Amino acid sequence: MFSTTKNDALYLNGDWVSGDEVRQQNVMACQALANVVRTSLGPVGLDKFLVDDIGDVTVTNDGATILSLLDVQHPAGKILVDLAQQQDREVGDGTTSVVVFATELLRRANDLVKNNLHPTTIITGYRLALKEGMLFIQQVLSVASDSLGKDALVNIAKTSMSSKIIGADDEFFSHMVVDAMLAVKTQNNRGETKYPVKAVNILKAHGKSASESMLVKGYALNCTVASQAMKKYIKGAKIACLDMNLQKVRMNLGVNVKIDDPDQLEAIRKREFDMVAEQVQKIIKAGANVVFTTKAIDDMVMKMFVEAGVMAVRRAKREDLRRIAKATGATLISTMSNLNGDEVFEASSLGNAEEVEQIRIGDNECILVRGTKVHSSASIILRGSNEYMLDEMERSMFDALSVVKRTLESGQVVPGGGAVEAGLSMFLETFSTSLSSREQEAIAAFANALLVIPKTLTVNAAKDSSDLVAKLRSYHAASMLAGPTDEKRRNYRYYGLDLINGKCVNQLQSGVIEPTMSKIRAFKAAVEACVSILRIDTMIKVHPDPPKEDPHDH
């Protein structure tokens, strides 16, 4: 307990930390988190082996996954975890680099504060650097992906996969990812072309090697038919999507029915079954030959479906049914009652697909819905030796699908391998010298912080970071000094690190490219996270109240 005023009028039951001490604590917490993910950055980054409190194992090098599995207690650390999650949701890739860069910005800002530069001045400088840097990326470093053709999409997927478990088979998987995204092209109400990642369903099946994974033009469901007597293949499918029980109707809990005559009991039992039988007959009469439901199907109902030649699937995921309904034009039905209280099933509620088939993959079977009429759909069936490998493959495929989506929707790409960071660093260094205000130091610190990405990439690749980053900077400096007619030197702005051979190369020609949006979002998110932590000058941690004594204990 301590006083917050001189006259001891107010007491706080907690810890009060302010000034340099709280800033130092925040920086150390963020650096500890950044050091966890730092070594997983780049094409030769290392994986992390994470075991949670109940013994579940995860092997990954995805920054957002690593940070989400850590039990982070420090408030500043939690901001970084949220930052990685946000980058994963919005872009899908670049989660590790955004955390490493945000931490470096914070560390350099802390050094400037120690040199008597006010945090507000640093924040203003960082925001100015970000604004100028984003313009530089869009006007100087960005290239229209259309000018590079379909190869650009394949190369973007390869760049995303280079640091992942499927990097060895990137040629095979990158074409699969691009074909899957092009297959789910749709237009929204405003006429904009969209590529929804969720329309690509990813299934995992144990066995065989990763290179025997396959792309299916259609929607794959991890389910089987309700009865082995049902048809396994339906051509010209009319699909009913239900979110209701197809079981014998039972009275609700607490409902009592008093009966005098035993025959009435039998009549009630018969009526309980007849109620669901009438619903099923209405679905069959509407023309449905494939029925998906999120809930159970009774044995007697199953018999009715078998006799009618209907393929029925029970206990499907609601999310899967929503996507199938959207793709086939069906309506997800949760009740058959209309506004008048009558039970009806309209034929317009059915969706259409060319065929529905149950196929065997490895030890398991799955349902494939091919040729969906309203929106096209695609599914990727991954094969692998064990569960941990399949989980990491799924995360890698999600990242690759996300960056291809962003490229298709934005149409702009930038060179990878540290080219953007090095070019931006040189530009901001020059820009900072043009200012006569105190923000000059903050912008210079921002420029130096950008170099943490190429330096980390080279260290992880077991190369000499000082030598390679110095060469890279010299190329970008030469490109800035080149005249408008000196095309060769102007193209030095596309030079980045070739980490396998340990040299600087033109990344557009090498095919190491990333979506412009990915970089811009990463820098914006990193600066916002850094600013929100830098603004903190006091931390008050309130102690929990001691448990009150129970008077009955005495």
Q: What are the b/e assignments for 441-465, b being 16+ CB within 10 Å?
A: bbbbbbbebbbbbbbbbbbbbebeb
Contact 174, 400 (CB under 8 A): yes
Whether residue 96 lies in the annotated active site: yes
Q: Which H or E run contains 371?
A: strand 364-372
Catalytically annotated residue among 58, 60, 65, 95: 95
Q: Which H or E run contains 326?
A: helix 318-328
Residues facing 497 on adjacent strands: 504
Q: How far, in whole angstroms, is CA 184 from its chain's centroid?
A: 17
CA gap 342, 241 in Å, rounded: 20
Q: Whose structure tokens read 């009558």?
A: 342
The CA–CA distances, whole Å, from 55 to 46, 49, 50, 69 equal 22, 12, 9, 12
Whether residue 299 lies in the annotated active site: no
* Residue from 185, 197, 134, 165 nearest 47 by CA: 165
Backbone angles phi, psi at 12, to 5 degrees: -115, 130
Catalytically annotated residue among 96, 103, 293, 372: 96
Work out whether strand 311-313 and strand 290-293 pair parallel, antiparallel, or are unpaired.
parallel
Whether residue 320 lies in the annotated active site: no
Q: Whose structure tokens read 């018969």?
A: 270
Catalytically annotated residue among 47, 62, 88, 498: 62
Q: Which residues are CB-contacts of 507 (< 8 A; sequence separation ≥ 6)?
A: 415, 416, 417, 419, 494, 495, 496, 513
Largest distance between two CA atoms of the chain: 103
* Residue from 442, 432, 529 nearest 124 by CA: 442
Contact 104, 98 (CB under 8 A): no
Catalytically annotated residue among 159, 399, 456, 458: 399
Contact 343, 278 (CB under 8 A): yes
Neighbours of 436 (CB within 10 A): 7
Contact 184, 537 (CB under 8 A): no
- Reduced to 3 states, what is the DSSP secondary structure of residue 141? helix
Whether residue 467 lies in the annotated active site: no
Over 256-273, what HEC string results? CCCCCCHHHHHHHHHHHH
Tokens linked to 451: 């170099």
Neighbours of 360 (CB within 10 A): 11
Tokens linked to 383: 């094969």
DSSP per residue, 472-540: HHHHHHHHHH--TT-HHHHGGGGEEEETTTTEEEEHHHHT-EEEHHHHHHHHHHHHHHHHHHHT--EEE
Query: Where in the sequence numbering do the catalytic residues fall?
Result: 62, 95-96, 399
